[in-house]
Amino acid sequence: MSLTITRPLAAPAFRRFRRHRLAAFGAATILLLTLGCFLGPFLLPFDDTTIDIMNRFAPPLSGVHVLGTDELGRDMLARLMMGGRVSLMVGFTAMAIGMAVGILVGAVAGFHGGWLGAALMRFVDAVLCFPSIFLLLALAALVSPGLLSIIILIGATSWMDVARIVEGQVKSLRERDFAVAAEVLGASDARIIVHELVPNAVAPIVVAATLNVARAILLESYVSFLGYGIQPPVPSWGNMLNNAQIYLTSAPWLAILPGLAITLAVTSFNFLGDGLRDALDPRMRAR
C-alpha cells in the first residue's frame, strides 16, 4: 500500500489532499488551543488559583472538576487553560524571536562572507560557547523575572543554531545557478537574499522552528525551576509537568494532561510547518 504512495506521480491528488489535511489539522488545532486558552477561562466556573485543600487529587471525570484537581485541589482544566496562555505565548514568541535573529544573522553572514560574514559567525560561536544555563544566569541578573523577560531569555538562547544552519545553506546556495543568475541580472543583495536564498533554505529552517517551539515550552519550566521564571501560582504546562513529578504513581493525570497539551501543540505546529514548507519551497511550487 505504501508503495503506491512513494511513487512520485502515482496519486498526486490524494497526496495533496492528505498533505493539506494534516496542515489544516495542525492549523485548526493551534487555533483551537489558542482560543481555548484565551477565552476558556472566562467560561469556567473555577478559578485556576482557588485552593480547595479538602478536595485535592480528585481524578478526572469524578465530580464537578471535569479534568480533576491537582495537589492543592485546584481545577486542572482551569490551570491547563491558564498554563496554555503562558506556554503558547512563550513557545511561539520565543521561537519567532530566535528565528528572526537567526535567519537575519545567518543569511547576511552566508551571503556576504568576507570579514562581515566571518565576524558575524565568530559572534555566533562566541555566544554558543556559553551553555544555556550560563546565559540564563547572566540575563536573569540583568532583567527582572516576568513573562516578557522569559520570552526574551529563551529567544536569546535559541537563535544561534538557526544562524549556523542558515549560513551553511546560504553559503552553498549562493554559488548555485539561480543565485548567480540573479546577481548577473543585477538584482539587489536584499532581493537575492529574500527572494532566492532564504526560500531555498526554508526546509531546515522550518525543522529548526518546530524544534525550537518544543524547546522553548520546556525551557520555560526549567527557567522557572532555576528561579528566574514566572513564580507560583501562575501555571504553565512546563511547570505543571515539573511539579507532577512526585505524583507519578499516585496521581498520574497531573502529568499526563499537561504532557498531552504540549505534545498536541508541538505536533500541530510541526504539521503546519510541513505544509508551510511545501507552500514556500520554490521547487515544490514549480510542480
Partner 1 sequence: MVDFRTDRRAVLGLGAAAALAPRVGRAQPRPPERPRGQVVVGLSQEPTVFNPLMPGIEVDQGVWWNLFSPLWFTDPEGNLVADLAQDVPTTENGGISADGLAWKVKLRPGVTWHDGTPFTAEDVKFTLELINNSAFRARSRVGHQLVRDIQVTAPDEITWRMERAYAPYLSILSLTFMVPKHILGAAGDPNTAPFNNAPVGTGPFRWASRTAGDNITLTANTAYHGNGPFLERVVFKYIPDLTVLYTQFRTGQVDHTSIQGISPPFVREARTLRGRTIHVNQQASVEHIAPNLEYGPLADKAVRQALYMAINKRALIDAIYYGLPTPSESFLPRQSWAFNPDLPAHRHDPAAANALLDQAGWRRGAGGVREKNGVKLEFTNSTTTGNPVREQSQLLLMQDWRAIGAGMRVQNMPAAVIWGEFWQQSRFQSVMVAVNFTLGADPDVTPRFHSSAIGAKGGRGQNNYQFANEEMDRLLVLGATQFDQAQRRATYHRIQALLREELAILPLFQRADVEGVKEGLNGYRPNQNCSSNCWNIREWFWTA
Partner 2 sequence: MSGFLVRRLGQSLVLLVLVSMVGFAILHLAPGGPMSQFASGSDMTQEDLDRIAEQLGLNRPLPVQYAEWFWRMLQGDWGRSFRDGEAVLNVIGSHLGATLQLMLTATLLAILLGVAIGTLSAIRRHSVFDTLATVGAMIALSIPTFWFGLVAIYLFSVWLGWLPSGNRSTPGDGSLPDLLRHLILPAMVLALVETAIWSRFMRSSMLDVVNQDYIRTARAKGVPEGRILLRHAFRNAALPMITVLGLQLPTLLGGALVTETVFTWPGMGRLFLDSISYRDYPVVMGILMFSATLVLLGSLLADLLHAVADPRIRLG
Binding site for partner 2 (CB under 8 A): 1-2, 5-6, 15, 18-19, 22, 113-114, 118, 121-122, 125-126, 128-131, 133-134, 137-138, 140-141, 161, 164-165, 168-169, 171-172, 175-176, 203-204, 206-207, 210-211, 214-215, 217-218, 221, 238, 241-242, 245, 248-249, 255, 259, 262-263, 265-267, 270-271, 274, 277, 281, 283-284
- Please state, in angstroms and as integers, the Cα–Cα distance from residue 248 to each residue in 67, 96, 114, 245, following that order: 16, 33, 54, 6
By a kind-dependent CB cut-off of 5 to 8 A, residue 284 interacts, out of partner 2, partner 1, none, with partner 2
Which positions ≥6 away from 65 have C-beta within 8 Å?
46, 55, 58, 75, 76, 77
Q: How far is the CB of 131 from partner 2 (least distance, A)?
A: 6
Q: How far is the CB of 256 from partner 1 (least distance, A)?
A: 17
C-alpha to C-alpha distance for 118 and 106, rounded to whole angstroms? 11
- Cβ nearer to partner 1, comparing 95 with 154: 154
3-state DSSP call for residue 259? helix
Which positions ≥6 away from 81 have C-beta within 8 Å?
36, 37, 40, 41, 44, 48
- Cβ nearer to partner 2, comparing 56 with 112: 112
Find out whether 155 and 94 touch, Cβ atoms under 8 Å. Answer: yes
- Cβ nearer to partner 1, comparing 4 with 249: 249
One-letter amino acid for residue 65 of the chain: H
Q: Which residues bind partner 1 (CB under 8 A)?
A: 49-51, 53-54, 56, 71-72, 224-227, 231-233, 243, 245-250
124, three cell numbers: 555566533
By a kind-dependent CB cut-off of 5 to 8 A, residue 231 interacts, out of partner 2, partner 1, none, with partner 1
- Cβ nearer to partner 2, comparing 6 with 54: 6
**Prior bond of 233 cis (ω within 30°):** yes
- Cβ nearer to partner 2, comparing 134 with 194: 134
